[in-house]
Amino acid sequence: MPGVALTLVLLASGAAALLHESAWFRLLTPLLGAGALPAAAVAAGALLGMAIGARLGGRLADRTGRPFAVLVAAEVVAAVLGYLVPPALDGIAVRAEGPAAWAMATALLAVVAVPWGASVPAALRALAPDPASTGRAFKGLYAWNTLGAVTGIVVGATFAFEALGNRGAVHVASLLQLGAALVAFSLAMQAKRPPRTPTPPSVTSFVRPEGAVPLLVASALAGAVGVVVQVAWMRRLTPHLGATYPVFAAVLGVHLVGIALGTWLFGPRAARAPRRAIFLLTWIAGALVAISPWCLAPVLDAVADAWWDSSGTPMVLFLWRAAIATVLVLPAVAPASALLAWWVRLREPPTTATGGESGGLLAANAMGGAAGGFVAALVLIPAVGTAGALVVAAGVLFVAGALSLRGAPRAVTALVGLLVVGIAVFRLPSDQA
């Protein structure tokens, strides 16, 4: 029963977070202009805040031994801070403009997103899985939280903003977070305080626990790859699919679907060898990311004259854009998304350290994502175009996977990754997009 209730909490939390993010994008457009600046502010602020929250929230859940209380506090604080964002952005618009306004808005959104990051680590600590089951438990929680985020994107793009406006959607998001806090509070009232003594490693373990630093670096690189792929496809599809926000919503929504499905379908299972799975997922995902730019023209040609493109209905237009993004983005995203859960599995943290260990990997992943967004927008795409950026991302993904392998598979995978990056930088012609 606690598992079902935690699923509801994470679904609502994820939906609320993406409703907030979508509203931020729309609220920032009058302040920063249409295009990359509001998207960069939202992505950087949300990812940096979530990184801090995951690290601090996971550790707090471990140290206090009261993960449900941490979860309640995170959702309540998130609701209050999210509610205050629109008037705070109004204040920034009065006092600043240009780079100063962008920096202030990004810092504000980072603070607001801090409690979002605490949800999954605290929920995982509340489940208290044994070490060998931690990856599987993390997989389920992370997938449901991401599926909630997809719901938030779809509701915002197809209904909430048209019916309620930006501020009304923010209010709905805050109410969702308060509802999640109430469910978590009811669980906190029923829960006994878990022991704080370390739990010995499980005898069912398949592997010796992996060192933290290589997995943290791998998680950061994978997070950077994910955001590079998202930014590159948003840039590539905007000229073909119309206005910036609908394309932003469609690509982000499909990206999140890929994360949820990939984590759930390809994440840890009881009888799977972790490094073998990581090796296969790395090679499949790397190959799919590398070839994805050359799939663009056939897909767009196939739907160029679709009758629903001019219908004007928000739901139909969103689904049309999402369908195109699905064909191009989903295959490249889904296999790579499962790597994070496998890295949690490799760490095999004791039960009393699941919050901190998972929070650390999530924090590294989010920080890498923030860095990847800046690198993609400011360096990669201007230098080698979107196709080159996607091929570089494929090479970096090979390197990330190699960090969690051993022996010949590690050496070969890393070498292939470096070769792919080199080809993209020195040989692949720019596509000027």
CB of 282 closer than 8 Å to CB of 397: yes
285: phi then psi, degrees, rounded to nearest 5? -65, -45
Is the pLDDT reported for residue 222 higher than 80?
A: yes
Least confident range from 139-143, 242-246, 381-385, 420-424: namely: 242-246
Which residue stretches of 242-313 are H helix? 244-266, 274-291, 296-303
31 or 314, which is more confident: 31
According to the model, what pLDDT value does residue 373 have?
Answer: 82
pLDDT band of residue 2 (cuts 50, 70, 90) is: low
Average pLDDT score over residue span 294-320: 62
Q: Give how far Cα 109 sits from Cα of 43, 85, 145, Å.
A: 9, 8, 20
DSSP string, 188-234: HHHPPPPP-SPPPPPTT-SSPPPPHHHHHHHHHHHHHHHHHHHHHHH
According to the model, what pLDDT value does residue 433 have?
Answer: 56
CB of 384 closer than 8 Å to CB of 393: no
According to the model, what pLDDT value does residue 241 have?
Answer: 66
According to the model, what pLDDT value does residue 205 have?
Answer: 41
Is the pLDDT reported for residue 95 higher than 60?
A: yes
pLDDT band of residue 313 (cuts 50, 70, 90) is: low
How high does pLDDT run on average in the chain?
A: 83
pTM of the model: 0.84
CA proximity to 358, closest of 371, 342, 370: 342
According to the model, what pLDDT value does residue 396 have?
Answer: 95
Whole-angstrom distance, CA of residue 341 vs CA of residue 259: 11
According to the model, what pLDDT value does residue 308 have?
Answer: 47
Is the pLDDT reported for residue 367 higher than 70?
A: yes
Q: List, for residues 247-282, the tens digit of each pLDDT value.
A: 777 777 888 888 999 999 999 976 568 899 999 999
Is the pLDDT reported for residue 334 higher than 80?
A: yes
Residues in the chain: 433
Is the pLDDT reported for residue 206 higher than 60?
A: no
Average pLDDT score over residue span 17-43: 81
Helix axes 212-241, 339-347, angle to 10 degrees: 170
Whole-angstrom distance, CA of residue 311 vs CA of residue 303: 14
Average pLDDT score over residue span 20-38: 80
How much of the chain exceeds pLDDT 70, in percent?
84
Cα 231 vs. chain centroid, distance in angstroms? 13
